Structure formats: C-alpha cells, structure tokens
Chains A and B, each alone.
Chain A
C-alpha cells in the first residue's frame, strides 16, 4: 500500500517547555473518517493542530501528499487541507454568505477575487449544511448550532480533499451534534473526502468513525476500526472508566454503557 496522504512521523509536540507528546507517529487512512478520542488534556487537539500545521513539532515531521507540510506555501497547503478550529471570531455584522465565501480565499488572488467556481462552491457548501435560507442573515444573530454549521460551511467551501475538525460538536445540543456528524458522514461517503475529527463523545466516535485513534498522556493507545478495538479494557485504560460494551441497536457498532457506581434509587 502506498503511503497515506497525511501522516506524521516521530512527532514531539510541545508548548514551550511543556512536552505533550514524544515520538508520536500517526497515519490518516485515505478516504477515512478518522476520529481521535481520549480524556481531557491527552493531547488529541495538539495532535490535530500539528497535522494542520498550526503547531510546529519540536522534532519529527508531518507529511502531506508526499512532501513535508512545511514545504508548501501556506496557501497551497490550504488548498489540500482545511481546518475547523475550536473557536473562531465572526467579524461584527458579517452575513452568513459572506463568511462562507471567505473559505474561497486559498483559491483566489489579488485580482481574481470572485470566479464562477467560487459562486458554485459557496452555494454547494451552504446547501449541504442546510444554511442556504440563512445566507443574508447576520452571523451574530444566529443560534450556536446554526453558527457552527456556518463555520463548517466555510471550511467546506474551501473544497479540500482533507478536512480536520477540532471538536466540531462542542456547544451543540444532541440533535445538532447528530446533524453535524451525519453531515460529516455524508461528506466522507458521497464526496470521498478524508475527515479527521476530535470528538469527546466515545459513542458518537464509535458510531461514525471508520478509523478510531485512542490517546492517553500524549500517546496512541490503540487505533483501528471501532468494532475491532473498543472493549471494556480499552475504555478502562484510556478513560479510567468501568463500563460494559453492547452493540448499538441502530448500527451494531460498540456502545459504551458506564457501570453504575451505586444502585439507582427509584421512587414510585
């Protein structure tokens, strides 16, 4: 098998003196929906930031399409790899369509600011995120769920074959979480894009991921298809949580049921 489009070798990741990961190697299978899970502060967002060239590894290197990611101009890299950061600031008063249109920046030049392809990509991104009706609304008037879909649409308009999503479901209620994950699933299945997401909810990860990476203390503890790697031992090792694993009645994927610590009091 040829080497995957995005992989990191022997990465040492650190913020100043604080080392998060040492000699970490990771490969993102092409066309997968890869989900990184792990307890808080296990280094999963740090790993994603390194893959997205937001954090320069102290040692080791990230490769994209056969070259060091640092060898691309940042604009060229942005045509191959998109990132949805954990939090971004919407400029005051900007409209939804205008914000989404900013995703086209890596495809534009100083005097080629708006092409037919730009119009098409923005329309398509707004359709697939279901925000076409909101396009003339101001972003600061929207609900949290709507706003997250707008940011996602901006990254989709970038039309990169690889998409990195840092906790795309945080701050969303359960219905909106599922909506965003279904959208990701759809992107990966029908558009053949490679997705990498950091998720908090292990059950969501098991249901949607084709490739799961479990991390603890800056190290990868296990990786593979959720059904192949998720069991009681892994959940205890990674999260320190006692649980039972059953089959998800909807999808057959592993479903984590935390063990009840004390008998539940029911009142009648």
Chain B
C-alpha cells in the first residue's frame, strides 16, 4: 500500500481526500484544483508576455534564457530582470493580495459587494496618502506609509464603532460606508485646497498605478504576503463555517469572534500592502472572488482561487494599460473599466434572479 493516496469522499461528485502518512488527510475539490491549475497557466502566459512585449520586444526563447541567467545581450538582461520582471511580480502580488482580501471581506460581510472599501479601508488609505502628498510633498515611501496608517486607522475605528457584543457583518458594512463617505469628502476637500501640480500627482496616486515599480517593492510586498498567507490558510476552514451563521459555527466548535477578528486583520493587512505598493487599484478585490467562485463552483469563499484570479486580472490589466491602448495609462484606469462592466453584469444578473 502506498503511503500517499487519493480517494473520493462521496460528499460531492468532485470531492476527494488526499491521504498521507499517519492520520494526515486533506480534503480537496477536483474542480477547484483543475481551475486553479488553469489560472496558474494563465499567470504563466501573462508573465511571459509581460516580459517579452514592449518598446523593445524580446523573443519568448530569449526571455526564458534571460530568466535562467543566460541573456543574449546585456540590454535584454536589464530590460527583463531590471524592469519588466519586478513590475509583473508586483502586479501578481498586489492582485493576489487584493483578490484574497476581497474574498475574506465578502465572506465576513456575507455580501457579494463586500470588499476592503466596506470597512472604509480604501478611503482611509486614500485620505492618508493624499494628506502626505499635499502636506509634505512626500517620497514614494512616505506616501505608502501615509496610506497604510490612514487605512489601518480607519479599519480600527470602524471595527470599534461597529462593536456591540461582537461584530456583525451588517453593522460593519453600514459603519464602513459612513466612514468611507466622510473620508472621501475629506480627500476632495484636500484636493480642492491644493496647488494644481500637487493635486495632479495626488490624483495619479489615487488612480492606482504600477509604473516604476522595482525590486524593493517586490521584496516588501512579497514578505507581507508571505506573512499573512499562513494565517489565512489556518482561518479558511473556520471561516467557511461562519458563513452558516454564528450559532451554527459556535455549535460546531468555532470561536466566531476570534476567527472574525483574525480574518479582519489578515484581509486589512493584505489590502494595506496592496494599496501601499500600487495605490487604491479599484475593482480587483470586488470582482476576483466572484469570478473565482463562478469558475470553481465552490460554495463559500475560495481564498486561494480568488488570489490567483486577482493576480491574473491585475497582470492582464497592466498589459492592456501599457501596450494595447494608444497611450500607456495607469493600470487603475483599466481595472475600473473592466470592473465597472463586471458590476453592471452582476447587478443585472442578481436583479433577474431576485425578480426585482
């Protein structure tokens, strides 16, 4: 008998369990695994295309050779390893962080429109960043710091304001919307009072962009994501039980309040990392979890698939933003268009289903 075996669980037509030595057993869904494999294939395609395409086109063969430390010429080495590789890696990491964060927020709020905006996080980050840009002029690092501080402060304030014998999803949404609206008007106020040039640079940051992202971004975002990922992996099972309601989850042995707090922290930190690195890129956190669920047919939040979907969406959007349009645009412009179309489609579909 082999030590590692895969058996169907007969719990659903696509449910399997992977058994290893001792009592080790991990459940998985065949369709989820297949679709995640497909997303990884898309990521590889986006990755290679991003490295090859540009003002200076490099053949796929040369790209692979350059990646493995054997560049055809120094220029290819500089362009691939120095410029395009860090940019596409930041796109993947930021997209993945946004996708996972959105999946957690949708599960927390039990609302398909849940996203980091729900707790006012994005507005708080924007207010913090714009404040730094306008008041201090601000290096990139200072702006990122301002965004993180603003976002986290807002998240903590919203959590505390919504706290009443524990935090319920609905209260969180209402308080978050209110805080977000106030902070957005604060941003507008600051922009109105600012000098034109500063206001313009703040506006660029507010759109969300991957321009001039380099290796230090990759390292910072990578470390952050690597720290949060294990927490999400541990929380993903109790998180699915909380979707059935607090009483059912508690009855099954889930500490609902502690799990929810852990989820909030993990998702907020992921959103903070993403915003600090690339600005408030819109709609990835909203649409990636939906698309991932539709693709995998999973019931409830599929955090891993949502992260892969977010990475693919942002990577592809950045390709479009750089090369498909007549003039290069910040990637946030593309994600807004893609996300807006998606939202219209989602609302139309929900409307039909609920016979509104």
Contact B27 A74 (CB under 8 A): no
CB nearest to B256 among chain A residues: A74
- What residues of chain A lie closer than 8 Å to B137, measured between beta carbons? none
Interchain CA distance A119-B15 in the complex, whole Å: 12
Contact A136 B241 (CB under 8 A): no
Q: Which of A16, A97, A110, A155 contacts B11 (CB 8 A)?
A: A97
Interchain CA distance A62-B134 in the complex, whole Å: 58
**A-contacting residues, B299-336, CB 8 Å:** 299-300
User: Taking each of A53, A114, A136, which has the highest tally of chain B beta carbons within 10 Å of its own beta carbon?
Assistant: A114
Given contacts A97-B12, A112-B25, A136-B12, contact A91 B237 (CB under 8 A): no
- What 1/0 mask marks residues of chain B from 228 to 260 whose CB sits below 8 Å from any chain A CB? 000000100110110111011011111100000
- What residues of chain B lie closer than 8 Å to A85, measured between beta carbons? 245, 247-248, 251
Interchain CA distance A112-B10 in the complex, whole Å: 17
Interchain CA distance A53-B24 in the complex, whole Å: 31
Interchain CA distance A87-B240 in the complex, whole Å: 17
Contact A87 B245 (CB under 8 A): yes
Q: Which of A82, A83, A102 contacts B244 (CB 8 A)?
A: A102
A152 within 8 A of B: no
Give the secondary structure class of B's interface.
loop
Contact A54 B247 (CB under 8 A): yes
Q: How large is the interface on A (under 10, 10 to 19, 20 to 34, 35 or more residues)?
A: 35 or more
**B-contacting residues, A147-162, CB 8 Å:** 155, 158
Given contacts A77-B253, A103-B252, contact A91 B247 (CB under 8 A): no
- A178: min CB distance to chain B, Å: 25
- What 1/0 mask marks residues of chain A from 22 to 46 whose CB sits below 8 Å from any chain B CB? 0000000000000000000000000
Interchain CA distance A155-B26 in the complex, whole Å: 22
CB nearest to A100 among chain B residues: B11
Q: Which of B10, B110, B255 contacts A89 (CB 8 A)?
A: B110
- What residues of chain B lie closer than 8 Å to A112, measured between beta carbons? 23-25
B9 within 8 A of A: yes
Contact B299 A93 (CB under 8 A): yes
Contact B253 A89 (CB under 8 A): no
Q: Which of B240, B252, B255 contacts A91 (CB 8 A)?
A: B240
Contact A111 B252 (CB under 8 A): no
Contact B297 A90 (CB under 8 A): no
Contact A113 B27 (CB under 8 A): yes
Given contacts A78-B251, A83-B251, contact A110 B12 (CB under 8 A): no
A196 within 8 A of B: no
B177 within 8 A of A: no
Query: What would 20 A/B residue contacts be, using CB atoms closer than 8 Å?
Result: A52-B250, A52-B251, A54-B247, A74-B250, A76-B253, A85-B245, A85-B251, A88-B244, A89-B110, A89-B245, A89-B248, A93-B299, A95-B13, A97-B12, A97-B15, A106-B253, A135-B10, A136-B12, A136-B13, A158-B251
Binding site for B on A (CB under 8 A): 16, 49, 52-54, 73-79, 82-95, 97-98, 101-103, 105-106, 110-115, 119, 122, 135-136, 155, 158
Binding site for A on B (CB under 8 A): 9-13, 15, 17, 23-27, 110, 165, 234, 237-238, 240-241, 243-245, 247-248, 250-255, 297-300
Closest 4 CB pairs of A and B: A78-B253, A75-B253, A83-B251, A85-B247
